[in-house]
Amino acid sequence: MTDTPKPLPPLTIVLAGPRGFCAGVDRAIQIVERALDKFGAPVYVRHEIVHNKFVVDGLRAKGAVFVEELDQVPDEAPVIFSAHGVPKRVPDEAGRRGLTYLDATCPLVSKVHTEAERHHEAGRQIILIGHANHPEVIGTMGQVPDGAMLLVEDLEQAEAVQPADPENLAFVTQTTLSVDETAAIVAVLRRRFPALQGPRKEDICYATTNRQAAVRAMAAGVDAVLVLGAPNSSNSRRLVEVAKGAGCDRSILVQRAADIDWTSLDGVARLGVTAGASAPEVLVEEVIEAARARFAVTLEHATLTEETITFKLPRALSA
Ligand code: 0CM
Ligand code: SF4
């Protein structure tokens, strides 16, 4: 006599939308792929092109070589700067060495660089709201001379920061911060320094804003949230925080399906899933497949907005 297999327990997976790749990530990856076609392997990439191991491993398999600094790039090889942006000294040095380089900095990060330069040229000291040591913060601070920009990471630092001249002050922000936390920091700075110049709200990009809004809307209606993304991905980590802040304590960051401890999801009937801007959709599909092996899965879509934005490739690669 054979045992009848036990029916799988039901699980509803709620997919937040938008999620996953943004226009800047899409463009950055295409730049590496087209450069490999154009120049042949190896093509060097300074820093992970985007903060995702699956993406980086895939490009490495095609012939990309990832390094952290320009002095690891041989003179004859082409090099690409990552989506997060680089300090001015990097293209300057590449130019001095006569390297062939391509800049995959997201246009929305470049926009912040331009704002910073404009404030500096107008004689304003700049406060950068962002997280220390993140490559985007290093890149943005490196648009102006040392000391021209002060870093503020949180509310406490916003209360404590002492600019040279409060009448001649501006702010810019990292693009991947928490929308709510940043609004609170900007409010403190505006209260302390009424002459503060800057964007109307902040410089957080559309992709970060939309993914946070989508996960916030979803979080209250699910028992747990999985965010696909890397531990060094700022925008992905913010999605976990936003989901927790919206009432879903069981919100975790996972790089891919194999990392999920399914026993930690015991008792979960509705599982929310989203992905950071650098996490490809195939990783979401992998999670759904892994869940189907354990549960009778029903899919639900919680789409808040549709995104249509795309960015042009650099002229050298667009033909
Ligand atoms: O800035 P962050 O750490 O979120 O980078 P990412 O590579 O995960 O996402 C895309 C970007 C940018 C800039
Ligand atoms: Fe550009 Fe935003 Fe995507 Fe970063 S997360 S690459 S700033 S669109």
Domain end marker among 72, 89, 106: 106
CA of 294 to the centre of ligand 2 (A): 35
Cβ neighbours for 161, distance < 8 A, ≥ 6 positions apart: 127, 150, 152, 189
**Confidence check: pLDDT of 210 > 90:** yes
**Confidence check: pLDDT of 149 > 90:** yes
Put the strands of the sheet holding 43-46 in their side by side order.
64-67, 43-46, 79-81, 101-103
CA of 50 to the centre of ligand 1 (A): 6
Clarify whether residues 180 and 224 are in a common domain: no
**Confidence check: pLDDT of 152 > 70:** yes
Tell me the CATH number at 270.
3.40.1010.20
State if residue 140 touches ligand 1 by the CB under 6 angstroms criterion: no
Q: Are strands 169-173 and 149-152 parallel, antiparallel or unpaired?
A: unpaired
**Confidence check: pLDDT of 32 > 80:** yes
The mean per-residue pLDDT over the stretch 140-144 comes to 98
The ligand 2 atom nearest the CA atom of 176: 5
Confidence of residue 4 (pLDDT cuts 50, 70, 90): confident
Name the nearest CA neighbour of 196 among 216, 172, 220: 172
Confidence of residue 229 (pLDDT cuts 50, 70, 90): very high
Domain end marker among 144, 159, 192: 192
Q: What distance in Å separates the CA atoms of residue 102 and residue 64, rounded to the nearest whole number?
A: 13
The ligand 1 atom nearest the CA atom of 105: 13
The mean per-residue pLDDT over the stretch 196-208 comes to 98
CA of 278 to the centre of ligand 1 (A): 6
Q: What distance in Å separates the CA atoms of residue 129 and residue 168, rounded to the nearest whole number?
A: 17
In a domain, 250, yes or no: yes
In a domain, 231, yes or no: yes
Clarify whether residues 210 and 293 are in a common domain: yes
Clarify whether residues 220 and 188 are in a common domain: no
Confidence of residue 204 (pLDDT cuts 50, 70, 90): very high
**Confidence check: pLDDT of 3 > 80:** no
CA torsion sign, 173 to 220 to 305 to 295? positive
The ligand 2 atom nearest the CA atom of 24: 6
Clarify whether residues 94 and 118 are in a common domain: no
Ligand 2 is surrounded, with C-beta below 6 A, by 22-25, 83, 106, 108-109, 175-176, 205, 207-208, 235, 277
What long-range pairs does 7-10 form, CB within 8 A, spacing at least 24? Answer: 7/296, 8/294, 8/295, 8/296, 9/294, 9/295, 9/296, 10/269, 10/295, 10/296, 10/298
Look at residue 300 in the predicted model and tell me its pLDDT. Answer: 98
Look at residue 53 in the predicted model and tell me its pLDDT. Answer: 98
Clarify whether residues 177 and 120 are in a common domain: yes
Clarify whether residues 38 and 59 are in a common domain: yes
**Confidence check: pLDDT of 318 > 90:** no
Half-sphere CA count of 314, side-chain side, radius 13 A: 19
Look at residue 2 in the predicted model and tell me its pLDDT. Answer: 67
**Confidence check: pLDDT of 232 > 90:** yes
Confidence of residue 319 (pLDDT cuts 50, 70, 90): low
Look at residue 1 in the predicted model and tell me its pLDDT. Answer: 59
Q: CB–CB of 107/152 below 8 Å?
A: no
The mean per-residue pLDDT over the stretch 211-218 comes to 98
Clarify whether residues 59 and 128 are in a common domain: no
Q: What percentage of the chain reaches a pLDDT higher than 90? A: 97
In a domain, 315, yes or no: no
Residue 285 falls in the annotated catalytic set: no
**Confidence check: pLDDT of 253 > 80:** yes
Tell me the CATH number at 62.
3.40.50.11270
Written as one string, the DSSP assignment of 115-128 is HHHHHHHTT-EEEE
Written as one string, the DSSP assignment of 147-182 is TSEEEE-SHHHHHH---S-TTSEEEEE-TTS-HHHH
The mean per-residue pLDDT over the stretch 135-148 comes to 98
Tokens of 142: 């490196």
Cβ neighbours for 319, distance < 8 A, ≥ 6 positions apart: none
In the chain, how many domains are there?
A: 3
Measured from the alpha carbon of residue 238, the closest ligand is 1
In a domain, 310, yes or no: no
Q: What percentage of the chain reaches a pLDDT higher than 70? A: 99
Task: Tell me which residue has its CA closest to atom 5 in ligand 1.
Answer: 233
CA of 277 to the centre of ligand 1 (A): 7
Q: What distance in Å separates the CA atoms of residue 108 and residue 114, rounded to the nearest whole number?
A: 10
In a domain, 289, yes or no: yes
Clarify whether residues 230 and 287 are in a common domain: yes
pLDDT in tens, 57-71: 999 999 999 999 999
**Confidence check: pLDDT of 283 > 80:** yes
CA 270 to chain centre: 26
Clarify whether residues 97 and 135 are in a common domain: no
State if residue 124 touches ligand 1 by the CB under 6 angstroms criterion: no
In a domain, 185, yes or no: yes
Mean pLDDT (the chain) is 97
pLDDT in tens, 75-118: 999 999 999 999 999 999 999 999 999 999 999 999 999 999 99
Clarify whether residues 275 and 226 are in a common domain: yes
Which of 48, 68, 121, 136 is flagged as catalytic?
A: 136
pTM of the model: 0.97
Clarify whether residues 101 and 123 are in a common domain: no
Clarify whether residues 70 and 139 are in a common domain: no
State if residue 12 touches ligand 1 by the CB under 6 angstroms criterion: no
At residue 206, the 3 state secondary structure works out as helix
In a domain, 66, yes or no: yes
CA of 148 to the centre of ligand 1 (A): 25
Domain extent, residue 63, equals 23-106
The mean per-residue pLDDT over the stretch 192-217 comes to 98
Domain end marker among 192, 216, 242: 192
